[in-house]
Chain A
Amino acid sequence: MKRTRGQHVITYVGLAAGLLLVIGPFLWAGLSSFKPESEIRRDPPTLLPETWTLGNYAELLERVHIGQAFMNSMIVALAIVAGNLLFGSMVGYGFAKLQFRGKNVVFALVLAQMAVPAIVLMMPQFVLIAKLGMVNTFLGIILPGLINPLGVFLMRQFIADLPDELIHAARVDGAGEFRIFFRIILPLCRPAMATLGLITFLGAWNNFLWPAVVAQSEDLYTLPVALNILNFAEGTHYNLLVAGSVIVIAPILILFVFLQRFFIQGIATSGIK
């Protein structure tokens, strides 16, 4: 499709204006994290910091065990991503390429999970975790996050589009089902896994209520939980909150910058339909 130069200019202007609207608030929050607290609260607000300072970050480091919380968040999010990738692809493969009784009912049941308000599940889930002796452990924080209907759905869609001949050929060669799965299917799933990985990471990284309830000592607090201690009804430390938000967003941003090519490819090829 050929476009004239003029059309491109219009597109660019429109996109840029949209971008300003979309990331304006972030830009402001990001810049604000380098302002002293009195300037953050100033009215009218300033855009660029008049006095640049790293004081907010320093204070944050001093008041909250940010390093530890950051590591905890990483551990939890990565474990949940890994679990979802494995489970999602295994179950997706099962639903997409293998035949067994009750398959459709089970699949529908799993998807229906997306419609349940999480708050209702929290109490029974916690009792379960407690009965299993996993309160205040990483395992307790991670386990329920391993079950993600969206992951199963995405992987199933993707794997369903892979040619059956691949699997047939492997069977003819005498490969077992697990060998087929790990050696043939999984490597082909990379784009879909990038998509799923990113989505899962996001969810796990921002999750607040569940880790807050299961972690009973500060050593296990994830970033949102640790930052929440600073949040009061009145007299919230805005300066610390903006600095905290920047720390929370940064890794996600970096991840997305690197993965976005695979991410889009993954969605394109998982043939959502």
Chain B
Amino acid sequence: MTDTESLAAAPLGLRPADEVMQLERLGSLHATRLSFVRSLVRQMARQRWQISRERFDLDANGNGTAIYRLQTPHGRYHGVMFAQPLDDARRSDRVIAEAWDVTFGMVEGDVDDSLLAQMAANVPLQEAGRQHPRVLVLSRANKSLRNFAHFVEALSRGEQPDPAWLTRVGYLYRTTAVYGNGKFGIADFARLLDNPDFRGPFSAQMAGVYLLRHFSIEQVEHLAACRSPSTACPLATELRRYLGIGNSTGLGMAPFLINHPQLIAQWIAQRETALTLALRQVPEEADRVRLIALTRRALTHFEETVTEDAEQSERNAATVAALPDVLTWLSSVPLEPDLWHQLVEWSARALPLEAQELINTLLIELYPDQVDALEDRMEVEENLDLEPDMPLIRLRQLIETHYGWALAHDYASREGSYWFWYRSAEKEEPRLGVRHEEPGAEKEMPLAIGPRVARTHQQVCAFLEAHPRATVVDFLLEHPRHKRSRATHPDAGQGALWRYPRQPLAS
């Protein structure tokens, strides 16, 4: 049994869930080498995936159709892009938008004329279209107009764009939704479970976005060439590598986090397992040198990072301020077998949260041989089935052990139940409303776990008074409303431990 397998089988030494699942700490996690994009890119490189241009019918304004073939050792896919003119007044990143600069789909298999015609008629409509069941990913994106203009202008003159533009906005396109798993008629995720290319969570979506990134580069180069055929040049490799894809609202994340507790727990558990594996390694001088180099690189990255969010800017500044101390510490402390433990303990005492988690991320980065296998453990068979024969007293204990935060909250006060999520009739966009002020609270989406757990607990206690030997199913037959309350599922203690702010958020 390898280290990874033994740790996964008996994950002793992981940080406690109460610490890791605090929202503030979760919000401080950085992307690691186990993040989905990193895993996908490693897979693409390892298996030498090939992307080739099958069609590129764009006019001088960059509008038209492009098709890219993605060939893997196991299958063939096509990214089909539809770029179209978009009036500035209609360019919105909201779900409620109805037109975009580019819409696209990634298809399993080949794209013949009939499928292309079907996609041309439906993909640009996005949610309003009926999509083909061989489409794995459906998405759309809007341009960063400033970057587009600057890139085209520079390339058409035969010059490279100023990299500083990319540190401010790191993309040419930002997606405003990336749909998978059966949305609007596209393929169900279940179709991919036996597909070695895309059976991991979100890997098909990431591949679709990668194709969009590729298209964005070829589109600006095309525009530059159209503007000035004699002087235009391609984008430099370094800038191509620096270029990303933006993402817009991320609104779907709120319901997703609540509705997939086992999946989220699995992802976090793999990251924590990776950290534990890294901490178990006895560092050599070369590892210390590498960690110093990675810390310097991270410092540069954070110094260059620009964000409009004031609070995140403050946190980034705090990280930048802290990293020189980390470099000093790493350079001055003797190389002892438990150096990494010493580092983590010191950082917990001395550093802001985001810097602590950055160090954890960099430690994981040091040990690809130990941690990369964990990327194959990101899937989980989601199952919130009841355990009907569980003694009700056991359920009560689970709630009291793991949901103390939910039981201690005051839900009766205005501040204690301030927000509610609902779906708007406008394209079913999830929105936040203020209870007691805005209409729709009676149609609240069932995302607030705390009050439901508290209500369930109250009724469980009352039921146990009269039926001390009752089972969960005995209780539910009398109180079926609690059936899907997170607390009535046996994984109550594992999957859903994060805490929810129930008070007004700071503006």
Do A and B pair up? The answer is no
B residues with a Cβ closer than 8 A to A are none
